[in-house]
Structure 1
Amino acid sequence: MIDSMTISALIENLKGCLLKGAPDTEVTGLHYDSRTVEPGGAFFALRGQALDGHRFIDQALERGAKTIFLEKERELPPGVATVVVDDCRQVMAQVAAAFFGDPTADIPVVGVTGTNGKTTVTYLVEAILRAAGHRPAVFGTINYRFADQILSSLHTTPEAIDMLRGVAGFRRQGADALVMEVSSHALEQHRVSGVHFKVGVFTNLTPEHLDYHGNMDDYFASKTRLFTELLQKEGAVVNVEDPYGARLAGLLLSPLTCGSSADCAIYPLDVKTTLEGTSGTVDTPCGTVSFSSPLLGAFNLQNLLCAIGAGVALGLSAEVIGRGLSEAPQVPGRLERVDNGRGVMALVDYAHTGDALDKVLVTLAALAPRRMITVFGCGGDRDRSKRPVMGEIASRRSDLAVVTSDNPRTEDPDAIIAEVCAGVARVHRRPLTRAEAASGAKGYIVIPDRREAIAFAADVSRGGDLLLVAGKGHEDYQILGRERIHFDDREELSRALARVETTP
């Protein structure tokens, strides 16, 4: 990364940019938030769903911006360079790549997209790269990390300026590979248009973010951009067990397909899943991969196959891929176990869509617990269509479903719960009383306070039961209104189970 560049050097390889002003204007920093602008910086007037960055140009100028990227031309003071563009977001990503020294140009970059499984696959690919001798950086839902440095994650895929600045920083510290979750929002908003992807992985597509995308076809179209616009000619890894994956594979020239069928490039030969995890052998174009993983269930086998596919696409050996999978750590908040002395299998998982919750509960039911208890809720200010779906799934798959709050944000928690219970009502006519739930009756109960709901579930659980707290996973906060408070399902569940153990 350099301290400054002239505006002409930043845009020399970009098409459709109309520069008005001195071409030798020095740019000392890049900004998309006018409140962060520093003297000599360039400000990008991004159009968002709620706000239009063109409204904040004057504020950026007051803070010392010397270059303005905009889509709607306007008069600016003397000495300020103007760059008129068709798509400010796309240009911002390309300019950021140039300003930060194109930090992804000469390293292997693996992008993982899909509704579910992205985080798990990135952890697995990270372990595979380490087994191959690389020092990978990772950008994803849980955090942005390299070696011992861990940064908080505000978005699954950060804005282009933040992400490329971060990658450049990790490169200076020794990172020689990059693994990143690529969200549909990021693809739609060109946040990764400045990234050179060597491998792209598609996990699956199920209803999510439809408040943003509108429908599944538009959601799918956003995901395909990684493979049709940003990926090199080869390097696509696609889970064709998913119908949208099969559809995507049909659009690509030579994808590495993953699935249960021997028609796939990567498929299981002999795989077993137990309470301890998943192990076995997988056939691949580079030979047979043998592995042992703590991950549970069929849906995680699909994640394992996708990670193996990424290793194959990177040109790694079967031995290295298998060793990486076997050395991969527990993924935070993904069927993460909470130890206790009661004989209860207590788990915390991030499942927050109908499909994800269904797959988790089907997987856990195969373990034949004495009783299945599920604590879950739905987030506010997000896709409302999934609420009754999750309510019905949790009720059908659980002996006891405890409906509670997730991150209500600015919505009324009781109103969210009412929409969830519209789906629950397809299975159960009325909620249980606390006494009925404690006695072992099958059904559901509503406890809006999440801490109280987890404590109640822990209190009524017995040895041999399986207790799942779903929806928030690794998150260590709860958003109430516009306030973010500390709240970690793992801590709450551990505390509740310990308290029950010591109660006379």
Structure 2
Amino acid sequence: MNLKQILKGINYKVLKGNDDLEIREIQYDSRAVKDGDLFICIEGYATDGHKYINSAYNSGAKAIICSKTVENLPDCTVLMVEDSRKVLALAGANYYAQPASKLKVIGITGTNGKTTSTFMMKSILETAGYKVGLVGTIANYIGDKKVPAHRTTPESLELQNLFKDMVDEGVEYCVMEVSSHSLYLNRVYGIKFSEAIFTNLTQDHLDFHKTFENYYAAKLILFKNTKNSIVNIDDEFGERVYKDSEGNKITYSIDKPADIRANNIHMHSRGVDFDVTYKNQVAHINLNIPGKYNVMNALGSMAACLGEGISMEIVKEGLENMLCVPGRCEIVTKNYNLGYEVIVDYAHTPDGLENILRTAREFTKGKLISVFGCGGDRDNTKRPIMGKIGSELSDLAVITSDNPRSEDPMSIIKEIETGILKDNYIVIENRREAIKKAMELAQKDDVVVVAGKGHEDYQILKDKTIHFDEREVIAEIVKELEK
């Protein structure tokens, strides 16, 4: 494609060479550059693409886009732009023929609930007869085809490529998780959303955003680029989002007056049922995943789909068709006669841990045992908070390792311990052994919640990443305990 076409609608200055040339592909990783490519220098979280200009040129880059002054420019076309991240997003959209404009894109952001909500909407939209794409933490989907996901929201170039693949496969709707990182780093820049959902805002990612206000500001970006804003008005930040967002606004709630509201909620171990009111319509929903917070996820998903003109009958059927979301309040012992349940959940924030433990408590007839840790190289201020929550809401807490990354696992555990006020916990650093001990201690009618990793099938240690799928681990432990 001609470079001028790739840069249509983008302001730039030619520093060297000319902009009338053919480009093979766009790259932002110098290691991927091949002969005839355009290399866009991105200032990343860990490194800066401007350092690799010569490497890109030596690999065959035909043109280079930078956003700051560089000495000793290579002998190829060099362009200067104000913000190379925004340019990467816009150039990617141009290169792939504006695929997002051919889709109805529904975005969801918030600290918790994004993954479950996208799966709920996918089920509703498919029940309505649409072919649906999904972009998220667990995986990306093009209809029924699963595509591996390496981060919650892909880099803008990969995202535009994924949109193109969806368009080519006849996808009509794309539902996607939109992380605060992706909003701040302009990965979704230029995309116009049909619906944008705000779930909640609690402590997370302060290692990246530094302040809670920055975290909020990043989330708010989504609601400046959508036709409809759908807001959880029960969340303390919901009113701010409602006030600060643009376009048409729809509220959802359990406790406050709202456009769509749930009541008569009845929770049980395998799900929750509730009534929902929207305008003059009332429906009774039987959800196959438990938890009051999943009622909230359902309300936001319903509001988005109702806003797209889908009938309440189809919305109800779509929600009730969904059996579970991998690693989200997933009961992994359904096929075993243990006398107790083991639940795997992705909860890795204070609010997430509190939600899953309060939910499990609702249907725990015996003791509630929790197994959790905190990730390394991430916001360490939440560690004592999670220690306090885990011990207070459990009869027994087993503190263990999560993804320690470059940190010492026991140092992380010691920080968790500083928040614990009760003498109802034990420490077992090895995560597998911690899960096994919890299951050895479990008796009839108990519930064991293993929190933090959910759908993940790996554990990141200091020097390596190992395979670690908690469903497999629990199945192995069941066999060991039967001997």
The one-letter amino acid of 2:240's match is R
Q: Work out whether residues 286 and 318 of structure 1, in 8 Å CA contact, stay in contact via their aligned partners in 2.
A: no
Q: Work out whether residues 8 and 94 of structure 2, in 8 Å CA contact, stay in contact via their aligned partners in 1.
A: no
CA distance in 1, matches of 2:39, 2:365: 57
* Among 440, 450, 453, the residue aligned to 2:434: 453
* Among 222, 233, 256, the residue aligned to 1:240: 233
CA distance in 2, matches of 1:106, 1:13: 18
1:499 is matched with: 480
CA distance in 2, matches of 1:184, 1:292: 32
Q: How does 1:259-278 map to 2 (within 5 A)?
A: 259-261=253-255, 263-278=257-272
Q: Work out whether residues 156 and 183 of structure 1, in 8 Å CA contact, stay in contact via their aligned partners in 2.
A: yes
**Cα displacement (A) at 1:397:** 0.7
CA distance in 2, matches of 1:450, 1:372: 18
* Among 2, 14, 18, the residue aligned to 2:13: 18
CA distance in 2, matches of 1:484, 1:419: 23
CA distance in 1, matches of 2:316, 2:472: 33
CA distance in 1, matches of 2:279, 2:21: 52
CA distance in 2, matches of 1:351, 1:72: 40
CA distance in 2, matches of 1:231, 1:68: 32
Correspondence 1:145 to 2:141 = yes
**Cα displacement (A) at 1:494:** 2.3
CA distance in 2, matches of 1:482, 1:221: 35
Distance 1:262 1:457, change over 3 A: closer
Gaps of 5+ in 1: 429-442
Correspondence 1:231 to 2:226 = yes
Tell me the TM-score normalised to structure 2 length: 0.96
The one-letter amino acid of 2:329's match is L
The one-letter amino acid of 1:259's match is S
* Among 64, 73, 77, the residue aligned to 1:76: 73
* Among 289, 292, 295, the residue aligned to 2:289: 295
**Cα displacement (A) at 1:409:** 0.4
Identity of aligned residues (%): 38
Residue-pair matches, total: 478
Correspondence 1:490 to 2:471 = yes
1:176 is matched with: 172
**Cα displacement (A) at 1:316:** 1.4
Q: Deviations over 1:449-504 (max 9, x none)?
A: 0011111111111111001100000000000114111001121122212321x23x
The one-letter amino acid of 1:231's match is T
The one-letter amino acid of 2:106's match is V
Q: Work out whether residues 139 and 157 of structure 1, in 8 Å CA contact, stay in contact via their aligned partners in 2.
A: yes
1:435 is matched with: none
2:43 is matched with: 47
Correspondence 1:92 to 2:88 = yes
Q: Work out whether residues 234 and 256 of structure 2, in 8 Å CA contact, stay in contact via their aligned partners in 1.
A: no
Q: Work out whether residues 459 and 497 of structure 1, in 8 Å CA contact, stay in contact via their aligned partners in 2.
A: no
Distance 1:379 1:262, change over 3 A: closer
The 3-state SS of whatever aligns with 1:463 is: coil
Correspondence 1:129 to 2:125 = yes
* Among 205, 211, 220, the residue aligned to 2:207: 211
The one-letter amino acid of 1:98's match is N
1:334 is matched with: 328
The 3-state SS of whatever aligns with 2:460 is: strand
The 3-state SS of whatever aligns with 1:68 is: strand
CA distance in 2, matches of 1:227, 1:143: 24
The one-letter amino acid of 1:206's match is T
The one-letter amino acid of 2:315's match is I
**Cα displacement (A) at 1:286:** 7.3
Q: Which shifted more, 181-190 or 151-160?
A: 151-160
2:452 is matched with: 471
1:6 is matched with: 2
The one-letter amino acid of 1:189's match is L
**Cα displacement (A) at 1:61:** 0.6
* Among 372, 386, 406, the residue aligned to 1:376: 372
Q: Deviations over 1:72-130 (max 9, x none)?
A: 1345344x222211111011001101101111102211001000000000000111110
Tell me the TM-score normalised to structure 1 length: 0.92
Distance 1:472 1:286, change over 3 A: farther
1:412 is matched with: 408
